[in-house]
Amino acid sequence: KNEVEQSPQNLTAQEGEFITINCSYSVGISALHWLQQHPGGGIVSLFMLSSGKKKHGRLIATINIQEKHSSLHITASHPRDSAVYICAVRSGGSEKLVFGKGMKLTVNP
Amino acid sequence: AAGVIQSPRHLIKEKRETATLKCYPIPRHDTVYWYQQGPGQDPQFLISFYEKMQSDKGSIPDRFSAQQFSDYHSELNMSSLELGDSALYFCASSPRGQGNYNEQFFGPGTRLTVL
Side chain identity, residue B33: Y
Nearest chain B Cα distance for residue A48, angstroms: 6
pLDDT at A22 over 90: yes
pLDDT at A95 over 80: no
Side chain identity, residue B26: I
CA distances from A77 to A35, A58, A84, A88, B15 (A): 17, 8, 14, 22, 44
A109 SS3 class:
coil
B104/A42 touch (CB, cutoff 8 Å), yes or no:
no
Helix (H) or strand (E) holding A91: strand A83-91
Nearest chain A Cα distance for residue B42, angstroms: 5
pLDDT tens digits along B88-113: 999 999 987 555 567 889 999 999 99
Cα angle B88-B94-B98, degrees, rounded to a multiple of 5: 155
Q: How many CB atoms lie within 10 A of CB B96?
A: 19
pLDDT at A7 over 90: no
Phi and psi, residue B24, nearest 5°:
-115, 110
Per-residue three-class SS string for chain A = CCCEEEECCEEEEECCCCEEEEEEECCCEEEEEEEEECCCCCEEEEEEECCEEEEECCEEEEEECCCCEEEEEECCCCHHHCEEEEEEEEECCCCCCEECCCEEEEEEC
Phi and psi, residue A101, nearest 5°:
-75, -15
Give Cα A42 distance to the centre of its chain.
15
B109/A42 touch (CB, cutoff 8 Å), yes or no:
yes
Contact (CB, 8 A) for A16 and A77: yes
pLDDT tens digits along A30-55: 899 999 998 877 889 899 998 999 99
Inform me whether the C-beta atom of residue A107 falls under 8 Å from chain B C-beta atoms: no
A97/B58 touch (CB, cutoff 8 Å), yes or no:
no
pLDDT at A80 over 70: yes
**What is the average pLDDT value for chain B, to the nearest integer?**
92
pLDDT tens digits along B7-16: 999 999 999 9
